[in-house]
Structure 1
Amino acid sequence: MSEITSPGDLGTSLAAELPFLRRYARALTGQQESGDRYALATLETIVAGPASVGACSSTKLGLFSVFHKIWSTSGALIEGVSDTDQLLEARAQWRLADLPHNTREALLLRSIEGFDFSAIAEIMDISHNEAEELFERARHQMGEAVLGNILIIEDEGIIAMDLKSIVTDMGHTVTDVARTKDEAIAKGRANVPDLILSDIQLADKSSGIDAVNALLEELGDRPVIFITAYPERLLTGERPEPAFLITKPYSEEQVTAAVSQAMFFATTEEMAELV
């Protein structure tokens, strides 16, 4: 049972955990707007019935558990989510038709949010063994679904090499590695990537966010994954935010899950444009 004893305590605890729910929701849906709609629906449900959180072993698990119930029972369609978002989700579910229900959720809860299998089992109301099995199946099958070209924007040589090794082992091709904003723009123009994997703070004190925005303006929309030691600074809800965000220090599992998910939704969006 949660140790929250008052509405004030609950509100404070929820506020501390909300940025991470929003990160998970956007990674799950592939869209900031639709992810935030689900997060808002979760908060509204908790406000209406605080006991739904208190029944769990921690506020964070309660928050994610309520979200999961809404996500599972809504058929991934709630008020305020656009027709485009609905179509993308439908395409995503079609591509994952051979995977058991909840595999993608288990993958992201484990790899991106760092929950252990006992916590995932509590969130999803399944057994520990089921949570582990769902994760393993998604990790192997989803990683093979889509391959592409990736530009890495990272000023630390060791980290850049590590990221390159991880995505190359997944089967992707690294088009180039850039250390500064200007270098990233030049290399992105010369060899257009399918996905951009970028640090926030670059070698010459330039911004990875500025580099990515400049590339997207010139090359058009494409999936982006940001890496930062302070994810809560980008998860305020005050401005457009990345759908895919990895926290430093990262694990190989986090990188592979985020890359697979980002590439996955990129291909479903391309399919939607053809309809």
Structure 2
Amino acid sequence: MLRIDAIAKQHLPHRTRTPGQPLRVLLVEHDPGIADALSVAMADLGHTVCGIARTECEAVDLALRERPDLAMTDAHLGGGDGIAVARRLNLDHGLRSIFLSGNSDHGTMARITETYPLGVVHRPFSHAQLKIALDLAARRLR
């Protein structure tokens, strides 16, 4: 596994996307049950989960290896800060996030907004919410 402090800032090469092409999504989620539910929902919507990271180090490693189109990031990782992970993925590697959050308090939402998110999906999420967020993200990434 790559060490975070040993990785020089490098933007991930962007894959060329055509309209309607499935998204490759990196999940950054500490709860295995939620990660599984998201994986199934994304597959149902025609998208691919190219990796599941539970920590910042895993997220950076998978982002460099898998070159996803976007990350779906839990705002509050167990024992970690998902917003900081998303900020790192964006600033260091040009990878933007859709956030998952069970909190919609002003402080959390303000921090999320500072990362230029592709969207926010609130928990408990529905397939409809997920579809809208992914469709909007795909349009923004063209």
Please state which band the TM-score falls in when normalised by the shorter chain: 0.7 to 0.9
Aligned pair 1:235/2:101, yes or no?
no
Whether 2:89 is the aligned partner of 1:226: answer no
How much has 1:218 moved relative to structure 2? Answer: 2.5
Alignment partner, residue 216 of structure 1: 90
Tell me which residue corresponds to 2:61.
186
Per the normalisation by structure 2, the TM-score is 0.76
Alignment partner of 2:138 out of 251, 263, 266: 263
C-alpha change, 1:180 and 1:236, in structure 2 (3 Å) is: closer
Please say which structure displays the higher CA radius of gyration: 1
Answer with 228-237 or 193-202: which moved more. 228-237
Cα RMSD for the two superposed structures: 2.2
Question: Which residue does 1:163 correspond to in 2?
Answer: 38
Separation in structure 1 between the aligned mates of residue 41 and residue 73 of structure 2, nearest angstrom: 14
> Which letter does structure 1 place at the counterpart of 2:93?
L
Rate the CA distance shift 1:212–1:172 in 2: closer, same or farther, 3 A. same
- Compare relative contact order (CA 8 Å, sep 6+) and give the higher one, 1 or 2: 2
Q: Tell me, in whole angstroms, the C-alpha distance in 1 between the residues paired with 2:68 and 2:131.
A: 17
**Native 8 Å contact 1:231 1:245 kept in 2:** no
The question of 1:206 aligning with 2:77 is answered no
Instruction: Say which SS state the counterpart of residue 60 (structure 2) adopts.
Output: helix
Task: Give the deviation of 1:235 after TM superposition.
Answer: 3.2
Quick one: which amino acid aligns to residue 192 of structure 1? R
Task: Report what 2:26 is aligned to.
Answer: 151
**Partner SS state of residue 198, structure 1:** strand
* Unaligned residue ranges in structure 2 (runs of 5+): 1-18
Q: Identity over the aligned pairs, expressed in percent?
A: 26
The alignment of Structure 1 onto Structure 2 pairs a total of residues equal to: 122
Q: Secondary structure at the match of 2:85?
A: helix
- Offset, 1:258: 0.4
What is the one-letter code of the residue matched to 1:195? L
Provide TM-score, normalisation by structure 1. Answer: 0.41
Q: Deviations over 1:238-260 (max 9, x none)?
A: x6253411111111111111011
Tell me the distance in 1 between the aligned counterparts of 2:139 and 2:47: 13
